[in-house]
Amino acid sequence: MAKRVLVSGGAGYIGSHVTVELINAGYEVVVADNMSNCDLTCFEGVKKITGKEDIPFEKMDCCDDAAVNALFSKYRIDAVIHFAAFKAVGESVAEPIKYYRNNLDSFLNILEAAKTHGGCNVLFSSSATVYGETDRLPVTEQSPRQPATSPYGNTKQICEDILRDVVKATASCDAMEPGTDRNGTVKGIALRYFNPIGAHPSALIGELPRGVPNNLVPFITQTAIGKRECLSIFGNDYPTPDGTCQRDYIDIVDLAKAHVAAVGRMLDGKMKESYEIFNVGTGRPVSVLELVNAFEKVNNLKLNYKFAPRRPGDVTAIWADPTLANRELGWKAGRSIEDTLAAAWAWEKHLAGK
Ligand code: UFG
């Protein structure tokens, strides 16, 4: 029988790409989403790409503990991938209560249900933001976490710690739940994403930012299509080779495949510890200017951009040492930045009906 994976926040940007790859890998998937930051565009795209019309979809809020419990009663869930969270850094500074309430409550409800329904494997979507500013690059999973600079970043750190503690507390559960093959243990993996960008090569799913995008690539594609007048490159006086910030841009499909590998590791009993952390990045630093130049070149267009002051809160440079994920998950980022930027542009044109 195929294993079933619950994808909370599965109608969003990363969740929809992960749902596609899980289905392609033969998993049953249940998508749960409250649609607070997306519409059905990507979920419909997932159905088209996979040719699977009957993917179970539950419109629900993971902050509603009764709804989460009901979900675990309705389906036998073998693993959860938890994406359901708010993610705008600036908004989290302005509205910390909203962020702590939403991002922590939803994860606690998932973990509580995972535990009370006999145990489960839980994959948490964490972020490279936990490393903060560091000059010891690339960062490994052992690199120290820095105090978070935003409530959003803090929720990532806190959720990692909650998962670690819950895993530890349930590790000693060895009594089998009556009538099941489960014993109440929760196992966990946190994936620390670097900068996810791009879209599915079909151009049927991609990022759908609401309002003015905060992130670089949606701002670039919206400028190229004429929705925004000019891209501001925040800072060209950083101590980097060309003065602009460096990041590790990870293709969204590559990122999605890392989730499939991590879920497989949990379900196949391959974990070396009951709680594990993996960096999900390419290991390759790319500056803002290099990214803009690559976008122009691969898509054969000129982008209107200017240099602007530094954006508060930005770190100078960060990129991953992905060795652990490469070795333990048997996963490696494969797509070139050019292919990724071509896919991002194809998605923007798809949205514009071009
Ligand atoms: N940038 C610009 N102009 C823009 C947007 C971004 O120059 O209009 C630059 C930023 O200054 C930065 C780089 O592009 O140097 C990447 O910025 P993004 O906003 O795309 O990504 P971040 O590295 O800031 O964001 C990442 C994750 C977040 C996480 C954040 C923590 O995507 O989830 O780091 O700061 F919270």
Alpha helices in the chain (DSSP H): 13-24, 41-50, 65-74, 89-94, 96-116, 151-170, 216-225, 252-267, 288-299, 323-324, 337-351
**Average pLDDT, integer, range 36-42:** 91
**Average pLDDT, integer, range 210-236:** 97
In the prediction, which pLDDT does 173 show? 62
The number of distinct structural domains making up the chain is 1
pLDDT at 10 exceeding the cut of 90: yes
| Ligand 1 atom at minimal distance to the Cα of residue 220 | 8
Distance CA 197, CA 216 (A): 9
pLDDT band, residue 182 (cuts 50/70/90)? low
The residue whose C-alpha atom lies closest to atom 29 belonging to ligand 1 is 129
Alpha helices in 41-171 (DSSP H): 41-50, 65-74, 89-94, 96-116, 151-170
Please state the pTM of the whole predicted model.
0.96
> 259: CA distance to ligand 1 center in Å?
22
On average, the pLDDT of the chain sits at 95
DSSP state of 129: G
**Average pLDDT, integer, range 334-342:** 97
In the prediction, which pLDDT does 177 show? 56
Distance CA 236, CA 2 (A): 51
Catalytic residues: 152
User: Is the beta carbon of 328 within 6 A of some atom in ligand 1?
Assistant: no
The residue whose C-alpha atom lies closest to atom 7 belonging to ligand 1 is 233
In a domain, 189, yes or no: yes
In a domain, 248, yes or no: yes
Q: What's 84's domain CATH number?
A: 3.40.50.720
pLDDT band, residue 175 (cuts 50/70/90)? low
The residue whose C-alpha atom lies closest to atom 19 belonging to ligand 1 is 215
User: Is the beta carbon of 129 within 6 A of some atom in ligand 1?
Assistant: yes
User: Is the beta carbon of 245 within 6 A of some atom in ligand 1?
Assistant: yes
**Average pLDDT, integer, range 70-89:** 96
In the prediction, which pLDDT does 170 show? 86
> 288: CA distance to ligand 1 center in Å?
9
In a domain, 300, yes or no: yes
In the prediction, which pLDDT does 319 show? 98
User: Is the beta carbon of 234 within 6 A of some atom in ligand 1?
Assistant: yes
In a domain, 95, yes or no: yes
pLDDT band, residue 180 (cuts 50/70/90)? low
- The percent of residues above 90 in pLDDT, for the chain, comes to 91
> 215: CA distance to ligand 1 center in Å?
5
Other Cβ atoms less than 10 A from the Cβ of 107: the count is 25
- 204, 279 Cβ separation under 8 angstroms: no
More confident residue, 353 or 305: 305
pLDDT at 179 exceeding the cut of 80: no
In a domain, 351, yes or no: no
User: Is the beta carbon of 249 within 6 A of some atom in ligand 1?
Assistant: no
| Ligand 1 atom at minimal distance to the Cα of residue 291 | 14
**Average pLDDT, integer, range 67-85:** 97
> 177: CA distance to ligand 1 center in Å?
45
User: Is the beta carbon of 89 within 6 A of some atom in ligand 1?
Assistant: yes
| Ligand 1 atom at minimal distance to the Cα of residue 196 | 32
In a domain, 354, yes or no: no
In the prediction, which pLDDT does 178 show? 55
In the prediction, which pLDDT does 181 show? 57
User: Is the beta carbon of 232 within 6 A of some atom in ligand 1?
Assistant: yes
pLDDT at 176 exceeding the cut of 70: no
In a domain, 353, yes or no: no
In a domain, 71, yes or no: yes
> 81: CA distance to ligand 1 center in Å?
24
**Average pLDDT, integer, range 26-40:** 95
Domain extent, residue 319, equals: 4-346
pLDDT at 174 exceeding the cut of 70: no
Q: What is the pLDDT of residues 139-169, one digit of tens each?
A: 999 999 999 989 999 999 999 999 999 999 9
Long-range Cβ pairs for the range 63-68 (8 Å, 24+): 63/101, 63/102, 63/105, 63/106, 63/109, 64/109, 65/109, 65/112, 65/113, 68/109, 68/110, 68/112, 68/113
Would you call 80 helix, strand, or coil by DSSP? strand
Q: What is the pLDDT of residues 265-308, one digit of tens each?
A: 999 999 999 999 999 999 999 999 999 999 999 999 999 999 99
> 51: CA distance to ligand 1 center in Å?
34
